[in-house]
Structure 1
C-alpha cells in the first residue's frame, strides 16, 4: 500500500528532445516560470505560473515584460496592469493550461525555472525542439518514453 501511495504522488515532468529533464513531486501553488526574448520586440518576457489547486494543470498568474507591441498583453481586462521600474507587469491573469508545450526558437533564449533550478533550454536544444511540462503520477513520469 505504501508503495502505491508513492507511485501515485502527483509530479511535474519536464521533457525535451526525447529525454526527461526533471521529475519532482508537486503541491498546489508550486511555482515555475518561463523566460524568453520576444521574437518581434526583441525584449525579455517572463511568465509566472503555478500548479493549480487540484494539481491537474497550470495557472498563469503574472507576466513581466519590457515593451509594448505585437503579441504582448495590453488590455486591463486581462488583469492588473502596472509599471515597476523598466518593466510592465500584468498580474491576476488566471489563465489555465492543462499542460505546457513550448518550442525552442532562434534567438529566444527559452529558459524554464522551477524548484530552484534554471534550465536554459536554448543552450542545449536546437530551434524547433518541443519542450513539454506536464503533471502526472510518479509512476507514469518514470516509465514515459516520449
Structure 2
C-alpha cells in the first residue's frame, strides 16, 4: 500500500524548485514588474478543494487591457488598485513565464518569498506523490 502525500510543487524545466505540503486554504502570490507600465502587479491565489483559484489582483496603474473592475470589490489602498473577490478556478496547474526585466517573485503563506529566475518557465502544480517521492522532490529542490 502506497501512502500519497498532497503537494504544491513549483518546477522549472522539469526540476523541482520549491515543494510544499498541500494545505487547504493556503495562499500564495505571484508578483512582477509590468513590462509596459513599469509598475508592480500582483495576483493572489488560494488552494481550494485540490485546485488553484485566483482570488484577487492588485496593481499601481490602469493601462491597456486592464478591466475597470473584476470580482466583488474594487478599491484603492496605499496607492494600489485592488480587485478582490475574484473566484476564477485555474485548475491543478498554473504555468508562468518570467521575463528578462519582470523581477518575478512568488510568496507562499505570507512569509516565504522566492525570487524567480529571469526568462524562465515555471509550473505550479498540485499533485499527490508517494512519501518517498515527496521526500525526493523536497531534497532535490533544497539542493538547487
TM-score bin (small chain) = 0.7 to 0.9
Point out 4+ residue stretches in structure 1 off by more than 4 angstroms.
Answer: 140-144
Q: How many residues align?
A: 134
Consecutive unaligned residues in structure 1, runs of 5 or more: none
The offset of 1:141, in angstroms, is: 5.6
- 134-143 or 99-108: which moved more? 134-143
Pairing of 1:24-39 with structure 2 (within 5 A): 24-39=20-35
Of 86-95 and 135-144, the range deviating more from structure 2? 135-144
RMSD value, Cα: 2.2
Q: Which residue of 2 aligns with 1:137?
A: 128
Determine the structure 2 residue equivalent to 1:97: 90
Q: Give the whole-Å Cα distance in 2 for the aligned partners of 1:74 and 1:131.
A: 29
TM-score where L is the length of structure 1:
0.81
Deviation at 1:142, TM superposition (A): 6.3
Structure with greater proportional strand content: 2
Query: Counterpart of 2:86 in 1: which secondary structure?
Result: strand
Higher mean displacement: 104-113 or 134-143: 134-143
Q: 1:118 aligns with which of 113, 117, 132?
A: 113
List per-residue Cα deviations over 1:75-100 (Å, max 9, x = no partner): 25x33100112111000111111111
Which consecutive unaligned segments of at least 5 residues does structure 2 have? 138-144
Q: Distance in 2 between matches of 1:141 and 1:70?
A: 42
**What TM-score comes out, normalization by structure 2 length?**
0.82
